Amino acid sequence: MIEQPDGSTMSLLHTLVAGLIWLGSVTQAAPPGTIPLTRRDLKFAFGSEKIRGVNLGGWLVLEPWITPSLFEATPDNVVDEYTLTQTLGADEATTRLEQHWSTWITADDFDDIASKGLNFVRIPVGYWSVTPVAGDPYVDGGYKYLGMALDWAANNNLKVMIDLHGAPGSQNGFDNSGRRGAIDWTQGDTVSQTLTALNKLRDDFASHPAVASIELLNEPMGPDLNMDTIRQFMSQGQSNLQSTNVAVAFHDAFLGPTGWNDWGAASASSSLLLDTHHYEVFDNGQLQMSVDQHVSSACGFGDQMASSNKWAISGEFTGAMTDCAKWLNGRGVGARYDGSFNYNGQGSSFIAACDGKSPGSVDNLAEAERTSIATFINAQMVAYEKAAGWIFWTWKTESAPEWSFKDLANAGIIPQPLSSMNTAVCG
């Protein structure tokens, strides 16, 4: 989901720069002709109708910062879903997660999502819910809720992107991959295990009327992995979905919106959908930017997205201009914004206090903060609609006000109706 620190605490800006440096050496890895071209009758008018959606973060893939209550009464070494289930044991973990799965997102949420003018929902799911790997501590039970969610979406005329958010071995070392720390995806059988999970998602759900897209893998860490291997995986995953009428979404692996222009065919013939994520909170320099600078950055990113030769969406973005949300950077890590960040010997300098944001609520945000967040979100929505659209991260949180679409929309900070956004903001 979001770019939290791995062992090297690599920032989003760092990864994008590194990816662009690598681009010249990896774009030859898979020439366009290696991917078969098939025109298909898709379930959404990608490229003409704009995607306006939300992510269901923290539901079928746990993230400590979205639902800290699940982690607060556990030892400090519990930092992700892997260590949570490992520490609790199968029986207790199943009891707690069943309660979470059955209450965090329900049919009422889909009614509410539709009422706010959205047309798309991205649902993160981990491989362990789809095709469990022997020896892992994860518990079964979440997969049935994915099927229920698709029916809830169909009942509200919402389309769904099923997003494989965690791969065996972890594709990025983030806690949102299921396991924080080492990046071991591509080692051993992990790639074939990932393809097996995708094939099951295809077989079980690609024909569902709500499923308009399946995303091959969320945020593989391109700068730390072999890009030839990533591109080969993407090619095979795309090929395995050719017989369906879903768009094949793929994350840019931190190469940026135009970093895949020399791979694959244009979307009109390939049904490829580029997913690029834009956050401006995981770098000390970005955290010191003014609201106007954030707006300018977002508008510029929208121009880059529009330069992709694929349908391009920002599949994750936020209203946050701080990293103050409790455990956003990982449990026990702290925030760069207030100088409390401390991870693997790396620290940060104080910019401003995190009062009211860690934890906090939209109702308690100062008026100036509400105005700034509204301006930033509006600019991003407009910018990303220069391309194929956007999916906000995330629908709701327990106590992270800058990240909760539901609460921000209810407070009038996100335009309601969406058609009332200021479209002149990016010039």
- Catalytically annotated residue among 3, 63, 219, 402: 219
Q: How far apart are CA 203 and CA 270, in angstroms?
A: 20
CB 388 within 8 A of CB 312: yes
Does the annotation count 402 as an active-site position? no
On the 0-12 / 13-18 / 19+ scale of CB atoms within 10 A, 18 is middle
Does the annotation count 385 as an active-site position? no
Number of residues in the chain = 427
Distance of CA 66 to the CA centre of its chain: 13
Can you say whether the dihedral through the CA atoms of 238, 240, 241, 243 is positive or negative? Answer: positive
Q: What is the DSSP letter of 143?
A: H
For 160, the 3-state DSSP assignment is: strand
CB 248 within 8 A of CB 229: no
Helix ranges (H only) for 209-283 are 227-240, 267-270
- Catalytically annotated residue among 280, 316, 385, 402: 316
Q: How far apart are CA 165 and CA 257, in angstroms?
A: 19
Angle at 186 between CA 184 and CA 187, to 5 degrees: 65
CB 272 within 8 A of CB 265: yes
Q: How far apart are CA 97 and CA 322, in angstroms?
A: 30
User: Could you give the residue numbers annotated as active site?
Assistant: 219, 316
